[in-house]
């Protein structure tokens, strides 16, 4: 009984004086991706190709990222993450299968190392996570965007409008015409 009481007391003291992530007072904002781009050791853009098991379905803290663009540093073709910390008081990066994200790994903010994320496609699980386009991320990093007309995940509205006009014009050409009335 005495050993169990001593162990319980140690656990209680550890929880009260432990790392900031274990205390209720530590609930900070997500680090700024905009700021993180400037100081990140590794800056990548990619698509989440595997996620799970979900901690809070459908979001997951464990995921595989197919790296489509390496803007700074070195990165393999697929990066594996488990419990990637945004910053010590802001929680973890959470994603869904198919999300396209930009990661600024090893950036500096709040007096320490942070890992800001920006969503290019998909919805962040928090309101304080930024949304950016591929072109914006490249521009923020001071790198000319890749040779593509638009981000591949954005709808080409000009093309859609032109196609719609052509479909309507073609349909009007083939409508039956009413015979002219004689006066």
pLDDT tens string 8-37: 333 333 333 333 333 344 667 888 999 999
Prior bond of 59 cis (ω within 30°) = no
- Domain regions of the chain by residue span: 25-162
pLDDT digits (tens, 9 = 90+) for 87-123: 888 788 889 899 999 999 999 887 888 999 999 999 8
Q: Within a 10 A sphere around the Cβ of 63, how many other Cβ atoms? A: 23
Distances (CA, A) of 79 to 46, 63, 102, 133, 159: 9, 8, 12, 21, 35
Residue 180 has pLDDT above 90, yes or no: no
pLDDT bucket at 148, cuts 50 / 70 / 90: low
- Give residue 166's pLDDT: 77
**Confidence check: pLDDT of 133 > 80:** yes
pLDDT at 157: 58
Q: 25-162 maps to which CATH number?
A: 2.40.50
Can you tell me the mean pLDDT for 147-156?
56
DSSP bridge partners of 59: 56
């Amino acid at each position: 009984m005495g050993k169990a009481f001593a162990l319980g007391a140690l656990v209680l003291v550890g929880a009260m004086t432990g790392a900031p992530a274990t205390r209720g007072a530590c609930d900070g904002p997500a680090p700024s991706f905009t700021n993180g781009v400037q100081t990140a050791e590794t800056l990548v853009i990619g698509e989440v190709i595997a996620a799970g098991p979900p901690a809070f379905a459908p979001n997951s803290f464990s995921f595989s990222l197919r790296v489509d663009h390496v803007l700074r540093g070195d990165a393999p073709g697929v990066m594996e993450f488990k419990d990637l910390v945004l910053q010590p008081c802001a929680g973890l990066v959470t994603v869904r299968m198919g999300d396209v994200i930009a990661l600024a790994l090893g950036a500096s903010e709040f007096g320490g190392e942070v890992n800001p994320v920006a969503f290019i496609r998909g919805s962040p699980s928090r309101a304080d996570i930024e949304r950016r386009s591929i072109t914006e991320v490249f521009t923020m990093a001071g790198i000319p965007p890749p040779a593509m007309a638009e981000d591949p995940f954005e709808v080409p509205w000009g093309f859609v409008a032109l196609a719609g006009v052509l479909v309507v014009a073609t349909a009007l050409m083939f409508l039956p015409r009413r015979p002219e009335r004689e006066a």
